[in-house]
């Protein structure tokens, strides 16, 4: 980066097409991030020329460049790469570590109500991450059980001191979870220590790009209880991102780094927002990447998910309708539920290869 710093000088700070739409750190622009990853030092002349043509200043010591809101060539390259990897995923040595028969069960009592409480046992893959705080242990992020040993969550959720994971929870304030007439009570929660944590090697804290991580728990979860089951991931015959999908479900306790907003597990159905439209909404505040997705924007919907929690929908898995996770809650507006401001999610379907590479028996 020092080489770029001395080779480049500040140019016209105004970004307008065709130069680009917004002035950002060079490492926050998908096109230049990809370009710099593919070229070594010293930088080839055509790379330096491209940077000079788009430079709009500096962010600290990093060049700032005019970046297109959505880089379609990068997106196309990513889709082609993903298509080529589908066969590799199916042939991957760890493919059998991810369940397809016992994952994503649909509760017979589930109902779709915007921003309302989930039915007891409706989302048995929900995980609560326990942190060490000045006030003692607390839940500040969520995640999903994807096998008997692994929790999928956001990278930004594992930067603080984690001391454990809880599965099978519904109301965090009660010792026993029962339905309204007490005719049924869920099995006890399952608590685990942490064995290892895997953060995506390209995770960028400033942009939340590649905001995904895996937690391996200290012992296998007991999947014989109906309140603890893994969610399905988009593999095998499951579409990477269903064509024409308009809505997905977010579930959680509203867990963020600042605390939680509900003691009882909630859910909401969120509208999917095209990434190009979403970039327009976040114009001047963030550059979105093709491996992110956008959902929400209604008054209360975006408050019901957890940081690191799932965005999911029901699709056929080997002919059986099941919940499949397509997104991991990454970030959104600072004021939860801001009208018209959607949330940003890491696209799970584009990280299946990474997940398979990291999980172990």
Q: How confident is the model at residue 269 (pLDDT cuts 50, 70, 90)?
A: confident
Q: How far apart are CA 295 and CA 281, in angstroms?
A: 12
pLDDT digits (tens, 9 = 90+) for 23-67: 777 877 777 877 777 776 777 777 787 888 788 877 666 788 888
Token reading at 41: 């030092």
Catalytic residue of the set 21, 25, 177, 211 = 211
Of 68, 307, 312, 330, catalytic = 307
Residue 83 predicted with pLDDT over 60: no
**pLDDT tens digits for range 107-156:** 866 544 445 889 999 999 999 999 998 888 989 899 999 999 999 999 99
> Up-side HSE of residue 146: CA atoms within 13 Å toward CB?
31
Q: Is 156 a residue of the active site? A: yes
The neighbour count for residue 267, using CB atoms within 10 Å, is 26
Going through the chain in order, the beta strands assigned E by DSSP cover: 22-25, 55-59, 62-67, 116-117, 126-133, 136-145, 150-153, 162-167, 190-192, 194-199, 213-217, 247-252, 266-273, 292-295, 310-317, 320-331, 343-347
Compute how many other C-beta atoms are within 10 angstroms of the C-beta atom of residue 58.
15
pLDDT of 20 strictly over 80: no
Q: What is the pTM of this model?
A: 0.77
Whole-number Cα distances in Å, 207 to 33, 192, 221, 234, 324 = 12, 31, 33, 25, 26
To the query of whether residue 330 is one of the catalytic residues in this protein, the response is: no
Structure token digits, residue 303: 């408050």
Among residues 156, 200, 209, 210, the one annotated as catalytic is 156
307 is catalytic: yes
């Amino acid at each position: 980066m020092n080489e770029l710093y001395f080779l480049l000088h500040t140019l016209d700070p105004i970004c307008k097409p065709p130069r680009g739409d917004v002035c950002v750190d060079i490492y926050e622009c998908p096109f230049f991030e990809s370009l710099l990853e593919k070229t070594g030092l010293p930088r080839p002349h055509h790379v330096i020329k491209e940077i000079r043509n788009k430079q709009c200043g500096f962010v600290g010591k990093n060049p700032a460049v005019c970046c297109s809101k959505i880089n379609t060539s990068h997106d196309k390259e990513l889709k082609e790469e993903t298509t080529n990897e589908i066969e590799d995923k199916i042939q991957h040595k760890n493919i059998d570590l991810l369940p397809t028969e016992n994952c994503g069960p649909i509760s017979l009592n589930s109902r779709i109500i915007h921003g309302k409480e989930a039915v007891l046992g409706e989302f048995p893959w929900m995980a609560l991450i326990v942190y060490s705080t000045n006030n003692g242990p607390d839940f500040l992020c969520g995640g999903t059980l994807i096998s008997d040993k692994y929790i999928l969550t956001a990278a930004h959720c594992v930067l603080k001191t984690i001391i454990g994971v809880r599965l099978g929870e519904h109301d965090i304030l009660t010792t026993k979870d029962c339905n309204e007439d007490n005719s049924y009570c869920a099995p006890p929660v399952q608590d685990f220590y942490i064995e290892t944590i895997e953060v995506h090697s390209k995770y960028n804290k400033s942009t939340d790009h590649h905001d995904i991580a895996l937690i391996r728990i200290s012992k296998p979860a007991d999947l014989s209880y109906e309140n603890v089951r893994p969610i399905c991931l988009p593999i095998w015959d499951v579409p990477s991102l269903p064509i024409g999908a308009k809505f997905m479900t977010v579930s959680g306790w509203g867990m963020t780094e600042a605390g939680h907003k509900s003691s009882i597990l909630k859910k909401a159905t969120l509208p999917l927002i095209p990434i190009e439209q979403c970039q327009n909404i976040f114009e001047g505040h963030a550059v979105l990447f093709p491996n992110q997705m956008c959902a929400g924007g209604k008054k209360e919907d975006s408050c019901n998910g957890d940081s690191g929690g799932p965005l999911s929908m029901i699709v056929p898995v080997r002919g059986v309708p099941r919940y499949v996770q397509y997104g991991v809650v990454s970030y959104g507006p600072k004021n939860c539920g801001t009208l018209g401001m959607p949330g940003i999610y890491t696209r799970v379907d584009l990280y299946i290869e990474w997940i398979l590479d990291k999980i172990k028996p």
